[in-house]
Amino acid sequence: MKDFVETSASAAPEYDVAIIGFGPTGATLANLLALRGLKIVVFERDKDVFVLPRAVHFDAECMRVFQTIGIANTMLPNLFVGPGMKFVNEDGELLIDWSRPSGVGPHGWCASYKFHQPDLERALRAQLATSGCADVRLRHEVFALDEHHGGVRIRFEDTAQGRISHTTARYVVGCDGARSTVRRFLGTELADLKSHERWVVVDVLLERERPDLGDYSIQYCDPGRPITYTRGPHNRRRWEIMVMPGDDERRIATSDWIWERLARWITPADAQLERSAIYTFHSVIAQGWRRDRLLIAGDAAHQTPPFMGQGMAAGIRDASNLAWKLADVIEGALPESLLDTYESERQPHVREFIETAVQLGAVIQTTDRDAVAARDREMTAAIREFKTPQPRLGVGWHAGEAGGQIGAQPSLVDGSRLDDVVGYRFALVAEEAVAQHAYQAMTDTERKRIAIIPVTVGALREWLASGLASAGAGAVLLRPDRYVAGVASDMAGVDALLKRAGAHCGSVQRDEAA
C-alpha cells in the first residue's frame, strides 16, 4: 500500500470521475460529465438494466436535465402526463386536491410525467455510449476505496470473471443506493426523519382499456387499509398496499393476498401481475455528502417516502447540481471549495421534499379511528389545494434575492427552447445593451464558456421583466444546472457576475438567436 500511495501521488489518475452505481442518478451524472468531455468510469454490480418497474414519476425539472443530455424526445412517446393526485377518506370524501397543470409550464415541459424506469435507464445508457468518454463496467463490484493526495484508488471485483483489480480516479461519486458502499467509506451518519412503514408495491399490466380506473393518482386514506393507486404509461398501473398489524406474514405479497386486496378495482381477468415487492418507506438524510474526494448522491444521500413522487427526481437533481461543479473543479475553472456547496445547496432542498412527503404520509397512514375522525372533520370542512413546493437551494454558489431559484425555460422568438440554445454551460440572459456590453468585455475563451442571450421580445423578455423584477434584474446569470447564480441591474454588476463565473473551458460559440 505504501508503494501505491507514493507512486499515485505523482501519477495522474486514470479517470477524472468514477461513478459507483449505474441507476438513474449514476447514469444521469455520467452523461452530464460526458458533455464536458471528462474521462469517466462507471461500476455497476448487475449485468443489465433491472427490467421491472421501480420509480414511476419525474417532474419538469428532471425533463430539462434529460433535454440537456439529449434523451427527452426519445422518452416522450412512452410517457404519460399525470394530472395530479387526490387524497380521499374511507367514505370517498376529498381531503387534499393536488392537481397538476396538463400543459407545458414555465420549464418548457409538463409538470408531471409517469414513466417506466427501464425505458429511462436504457435511454441514458444508450446516450452515454455515444459520448466516447465513459468506460462502463457491468458486473463489477467495488469493495475498497483508498484516498491519497491526488485521487482515489478503487479496488473492485469483476464478478463475471472472478478477478480482483484496481484503477484510480480524481473523484468518486457513490450513486449506489440505500446500502451505499461509498457512504460507508465516507463515514457519514443518517438523520432519521421518523417515518418507516412497510408497504407492498404491486405493478400490473392491464389486459384492456380501463378508463374507469382514472388518470389521477389516488391516496385512499382508509384506516382499515391505506392504499395508493397510480396510473403509468400505456397499460401500466400500480397499487401500493400498506402492511397492517395482524397481517399474516406468510401470505403478504402472495398472489392470492394481492388479488384479495385489489378486488375492489380489478380481478385476474383484467390484468397480469408484473411485479410485487415489500418495501419499507424510509425517510432519512445523510449528514455529510462529501469527504475530500468521495461524494454520494441519490438514495445513498437521502431516502423519502413515495407520497410526492420525488425519490428518483431528487437523485436527478443531485446529479445536475454536482456534475458542472466537478467539471469546473477538475478543469481548473473554479476552486475546489465549489464542491462544498453541493451538500449545502442540495441538503435543505431535498429535506423540504422529504419532510413534506412525511407530512402527506401521515395523512394517508393514520389508522387510529379517533385521529382519523378528527382529520376528516378538519380536512373535509376546508379541502386543501396542495401546491408542489418550489424551494430555493440552500447556501452556496449563488447570491442575492433571486439567487438559488430555478430559472424558467421560455421559448425564444424562433420557437426554440432556451436550454437548447444555451447548451450545457453558463448563460447570461440580459437586456440587449447589457448583453452587448458583456460580449465586448469578454475574451474568446469566456464567450465559449458563457452563452450571451440578448433579450429583445417575447416570453424571454416577460420572464426577465416579471419573474425577476423584484430583484431589479437587467441581467441574469444562469448556472449550467439552470439555477440562478445571481442578477445584476447595471454594468458593474454584470462584470462581477462574469468574473465570478470564470472562463477556462468550453467549445460553443456565441449564440445570436434570441
Query: Containing domain of residue 40, as a range?
Result: 2-77+115-193+285-358
Per-residue pLDDT tens digits for 84-139: 999 999 999 999 999 999 999 999 999 999 999 999 999 999 999 999 999 999 99
Bridge partner list, 450? 426
Q: Is the pTM of this model over 0.75?
A: yes
Same domain, 481 and 352: no
Handedness of CA 15, 163, 301, 120 (dihedral sign): positive
> What residue has cell string 441591474?
489
H-type alpha helices, 331-339: none
Looking at the fold, whether 438 and 305 belong to one and the same domain comes out as no
**Per-residue b/e over 442-457, b at no fewer than 16 CB within 10 Å?**
beeebbbbbbbbbbee
Q: Are 171 and 56 found together in one domain?
A: yes
CATH code at 442?
3.40.30.120
Angle between helical axes of 340-364 and 311-330 (0-180°, round to 10): 180
| CB of 172 closer than 8 Å to CB of 17 | yes
Domain assignment of residue 127, yes or no: yes
Specify the 3-state DSSP secondary structure of 361.
helix
CA distance 98 to 191: 28
Domain boundary residue, one of 327, 358, 389? 358
Beta strands 40-44 and 15-20 are parallel
Assigned domain for 485 exists: yes
C-alpha cell at 77: 412517446
Beta pairing partners, 345: none
Number of domains making up the chain? 2
Q: Are residues 353 and 440 in the same domain?
A: no
For the stretch 461-479, pLDDT in tens is 888 876 554 555 689 999 9
Q: Which three cell numbers stand for residue 208?
A: 384492456
* Whole-angstrom distance, CA of residue 306 vs CA of residue 299: 13
Task: Quick: pLDDT tens for 485-503.
Answer: 999 888 888 888 998 888 5
Determine, yes or no, domain membership for 409.
no
Q: Which grid coordinates are listed for 436?
A: 452587448
pLDDT tens for 265-313 read 999 999 999 999 999 999 999 999 999 999 999 999 999 999 999 999 9
Are 126 and 31 members of one domain?
yes
DSSP output for 181-218: HHHHHHT--EEE-S--EEEEEEEEEESS--GGG-SSEE
The average pLDDT across 162-189 equals 96
- Same domain membership, residue 423 and residue 331: no
Cα(71)–Cα(68) distance, integer angstroms: 8
CATH classification at residue 131: 3.50.50.60
Q: Determine how β-strand 271-281 pairs with β-strand 197-206.
A: antiparallel
Distance CA 224, CA 432 (A): 62
Q: Are residues 188 and 292 both part of a single domain? A: yes
Residue 411 lies in a domain: no
In eight-state DSSP terms, residue 19 is E
- Residue 302 within a domain: yes
Q: Say whether pLDDT at 514 is over 50.
A: no
Phi, psi of 251 (to 5 degrees): -105, -20
Q: Is residue 345 domain-shared with residue 423, that is, in the same domain?
A: no
Asked whether residue 348 falls in the same domain as residue 428, the answer is no
Q: Quick check: is 182 in a domain? A: yes
Does position 483 have pLDDT exceeding 90, yes or no?
yes
Q: Which three cell numbers stand for residue 233?
A: 404509461
323 and 447 within one domain: no
Domain boundary among 311, 326, 358: 358
Residue 258 is assigned to a structural domain of this protein: no
Whether residue 201 lies inside any domain: the answer is no
**447 in the same domain as 321:** no
SS3 399: coil
Residues 352, 424: one domain?
Answer: no
SS3 456: coil
Q: What is the pLDDT of residues 19-63, one digit of tens each?
A: 999 999 999 999 999 999 999 999 999 999 998 889 999 999 999
**Structural contact between residues 234 and 115, judged by C-beta atoms closer than 8 angstroms:** no
